[in-house]
Amino acid sequence: MPTPDLPYDPAELRTLALSDTGFIFDPRTGHSYSANATGLATLAAMKDGLDPAAIATKLRAEFKGGAAVEDDVAGFVDLLRELGLVRARSAP
């Protein structure tokens, strides 16, 4: 189902294989990636279609000590764009 209000398209991430250890495989390109624990949690939440605010709330609940989590999530989405895992999409 389309989610035009998100700054990324979750459908682009659905083929990614995520392991609990942070190892990520992209079968479309053959590339693999490593993510830290928060990166893995963010990626999983993005796959599930959560919006950035919901992802920040989830991270705060699962980890302790985050100060600017919303900014960090936005930066992570930018990083995924740099890596070609999601395409540029204008925020609503």
CB within 8 Å of 27: residues ≥ 6 apart: 15, 17
Give the whole-angstrom CA distance, residue 50 versus residue 6: 8
- The partner residues of 5 in beta bridges, in order of sequence, read none
CB of 63 to other proteins, least distance (A): 4
Nearer to other proteins, 83 or 91 (CB): 83
Nearer to other proteins, 71 or 91 (CB): 71
Contact pattern for other proteins over residues 29 through 68, marking x by CB under 8 A? --xxxxxxxxx-xxx---------------xxxxxxxxx-
Task: Calculate helix-pair angle for 69-82, 52-62, nearest 10 degrees.
Answer: 120
Which residues of the chain form contacts with other proteins (CB under 8 A)? 22, 24, 31-39, 41-43, 59-67, 69, 72-73, 75-76, 78-80, 82-83
